[in-house]
Chain A
Amino acid sequence: MNYSRRKFFVTSSTAAAAFVLAGCRGINPERLGGQADGFANVDQSGVVAQGPIGKNLPSSPILDEVRGRGFLRCSGTDTLPGFSQTNPVTGKLAGFDAGMAELFAKYLLGKPAVNFVKSGADTREAFLQNRTVDATISTYTITENRERIVNFAGPYLTVTSGVAVQLGETGIASSADLAGREVAVQPGAAEEALLREVPNAVPVRFEESSQCFAALQQQRVEAWVANTAIITSRAGTDSRTTVTDIRFGESPFGIGLPKGDDTYKTVATEFINTIAEDGTWQKLWDETAGLVDRTTNPEPPAIPMGR
């Protein structure tokens, strides 16, 4: 995971430069791309070490290619705490999605060899279509439009969205109250969930969850919508903001796969069911997103074959 190391270096030096530029007057470098403390100890490597290895896997074009290459090319983000973000101590991508990618690689190859390719919500389909990657594990919500051009295995996790507001905010009691208000979101799953639930909300998009959070603290926006794991990790521990009871929008996350290789998709589905049944899935959740989100306790998935 060379990329992660470099990225970490760039982010931290950028943040440091920002801090200096700001005249050291108490500007919080984290918002410029740094880390939240709460996730410093997210590390899935113990879980991955015990993860299962697939037996008697069939042959298919992509499977053969991956085996021949010896590692899995997987795209995702590095800005989602608890799901996929660079751990400042180890320099490796840490989180639930990062662990899923390593477990999947291990299931296919016997070792968690993943070549991480950073992609935002913009490029996920393109990367799969032009075969830049073998899989996308990136809080990637399964939708009909996407299923026309990529395969999905899963859902491997279904999350609900939560809403954080400024402390003392009384005008937002239900999701409908978000209509017409400026709401911070990260592009992708959270944004989709928000617009499905409240089409007239005004999304204000920031790359990093730390920035969404800062925007809320600084009263640039009236609310912040993200999945409950992310939102409780930040707003739950802060004195200026609070997490509301509002929950909405089931977002089913799937492993995105290139279209056309259905054997590969079946293997991916079997992988999800295997780690759900043998307890690996639960351990992964507990070591990653579950560390910060104790309010939700998602069920391990059980995907009917043929989905």
Chain B
Amino acid sequence: MMTNMSERSPSQGAVIELKDVEKSFGATKVLTGVNLSIAKGETVVILGPSGSGKSTLLRTTNRLEPIDSGEIWYHGKPIPREGRELAAYRAEVGMVFQQFNLYPHKTAVQNITLAPVKRGKQKPEEARARALRLLADVNLSEHANKRPGALSGGQQQRVAIARAMAMDPEVILFDEPTSALDPEMIQEVVHVMKRLSADGMTMAVVTHEIGFARESADRIVFMDEGRIIEESDPESFFTNPRTERAQEFLGKILNH
């Protein structure tokens, strides 16, 4: 909880902290006064109707979208704005996208090893061995040398998660990781995410998978019209949402 010590100091143990973040696209305000901190090992699930600013919030965190005002801190320091420092910061923050965004010209293994090798973090052989272990973790050993075009959506997303893991990130951002998947493939991805969460990975997840949120989230953040309007543990959020908007939202998705 916020103390009066200093408005500017980061919360204890926060990996990432957003303070008064504002963002507009042209005349449309998409984030208004957003404050959020994510602690080490925590899984935060961000819920909200579409257009509520969830994805933008996630994307400002690794500066895929620059913000208009406010601050974003990483381990107590403002995140870099550009150049090598920004690249180095991004290397510590993994991201998994709705559309997987694998590199179509590279095999599964090459997708995973590209960043570690190019950033000089791992030697090629070492990176490859590591990538094969990660692929084994997501049950894709036999697909290691296939290109994305030869993989199903669920398989591609699991490769994408392995790719994010390969950099040993401090935190992974999941931007609707199952929204583009056929229903029968959702569980294989959710399964991997649950395991990551259980293993103590710090995660910020934008999703509509209520099952995942109930089981794995340490905290639910509910957004509406660019603001965070509710923050609580999953149990109280799902059984006793405080705001009307959250009740409405839950009413809609739980009845489906």
Question: Is there a direct interface between A and B, measured as CB atoms under 8 Å apart in the complex?
Answer: no
Give residues in B with beta carbon < 8 Å to A: none
Give residues in A with beta carbon < 8 Å to B: none
